[in-house]
Amino acid sequence: MPPREPIVELTRVSKVYRQGKLEVYALRDLSLEIEAGEFTAVCGPSGSGKTTLLNVIGALDRPTSGTIRIEGQDLGEMGQRERSHLRRDRIGFVFQAYNLMPVLSAYENAEMVLSLQGVEPEVRRKQVMRVLTEVGLEGLEERRPDELSGGQQQRVAIARAIVSQPAVVLADEPTANLDSVTAIHLLDIMEKLYRERGVTFLFSTHDPRVMERARRLIRVVDGQIESDDRREDDRGAP
């Protein structure tokens, strides 16, 4: 198999927070590559730097030092506007607390990114309906978040994250607020998207069920990669 270009490339990335005179390293000299079509979980104890890692990859936060490239583009060279466009066009986000817009329906939440991209309404409608069906929300399109269960809300969040076919979906503890059955169902959906559509997922998680399903498990401790284990991919190349 020819070597694939990494979608995400971190080189000696550090993130330092200052608490008074104290410097706290959330990430310390961390290097990492994520290739297209990977199903990767980042695990580690609380405060180990998992969320910070996702935030700097997602162009939500800037590292103190080091280089981050998304599809070859150096985030350090981007201004606010370019980073905003990168997040809109190439990165999908799934948050632990779902973070849907409460005043918008499931359909409108899923549609938002395409709308921001200026995609034609007819194309938007087709894409949104397709992803809502893929995550099992057909018939619930008009419901607002407060009319959906936690699992359904997280499925809307996944639909919102994948609808524009981003380079990578960053999911911060996506199952943390869900019961076991719902969490497993959600993992089934994400795994199916990974297997059938080649969606690249990068999770941060404490959840052993997510770790079990991951094809690559990166363990982060004190802002550094302690281990990086790959498992055989049974789905074949994307």
Partner 1 sequence: MDIWKTAWRNVLRSRRRTFVTVSAMSFALWVMILYSGLVAGYLRDMEQNILDLEIGDLQVHAGDYRDDPSLYARIDDPEALMAPLRARGYRASSRLLAWGLAAGEESSAGVSFRGLDVAADADVSRIHEHVFAGSWLDPGEPHGVVIGRRLARMLGVEPGAEIVVLSQGADGATAADLFEVRGVLQSVGDATDRAGVFMTAGAFRELFVVPDGVHQIVVRRPVDAELEVAATAVAALAPGLDVQTWRDIMPTLASLLDSARGAIVAMFFIVYLAIAVLILNAMLMAVFERIRELGVLKALGVGPAGILGLMLAEAGILTAMAVVIGVALGIPTLWYLAVEGIELTGIAGMSMLGVAMDPVWRAELSLAAVFPPIGALVAIVALAVLYPSLKAAWIDPVRAIYHR
In the complex, which residues of this chain contact partner 1 (CB under 8 A)? 51, 55, 58, 60-61, 80-81, 84-85, 87-89, 93, 95, 97, 99, 101-104, 112-113, 115-116, 160
Nearest Cα to Cα of residue 186 among 140, 154, 213: 154
Burial class, 180, CB count within 10 angstroms (exposed 0-12 / middle 13-18 / buried 19+): exposed
| Distance in Å, CB of 116 to partner 1, minimum | 5
State how far the alpha carbon of 113 is from the alpha carbons of 24, 85, 158, in Å. Answer: 35, 11, 12
Nearest to partner 1 of 18, 208 (CB atom): 18
| Distance in Å, CB of 207 to partner 1, minimum | 19
| Distance in Å, CB of 71 to partner 1, minimum | 16
Report the amino acid identity of residue 112: M
Nearest to partner 1 of 36, 104 (CB atom): 104
| Distance in Å, CB of 229 to partner 1, minimum | 28
Separation of alpha carbons 67 and 238, rounded Å: 27
- Is residue 46 classed as helix, strand or coil in its secondary structure? coil
State how far the alpha carbon of 23 is from the alpha carbons of 19, 64, 153, in Å. Answer: 6, 12, 37
Separation of alpha carbons 145 and 179, rounded Å: 18
| Distance in Å, CB of 142 to partner 1, minimum | 13
The structure tokens listed for 176 are 């943390």
Nearest to partner 1 of 37, 205 (CB atom): 205
Nearest to partner 1 of 171, 217 (CB atom): 171
Nearest Cα to Cα of residue 40 among 237, 235, 238, 228: 228
The structure tokens listed for 54 are 């996702």
Nearest to partner 1 of 144, 192 (CB atom): 144
| Distance in Å, CB of 195 to partner 1, minimum | 26
Nearest to partner 1 of 90, 215 (CB atom): 90
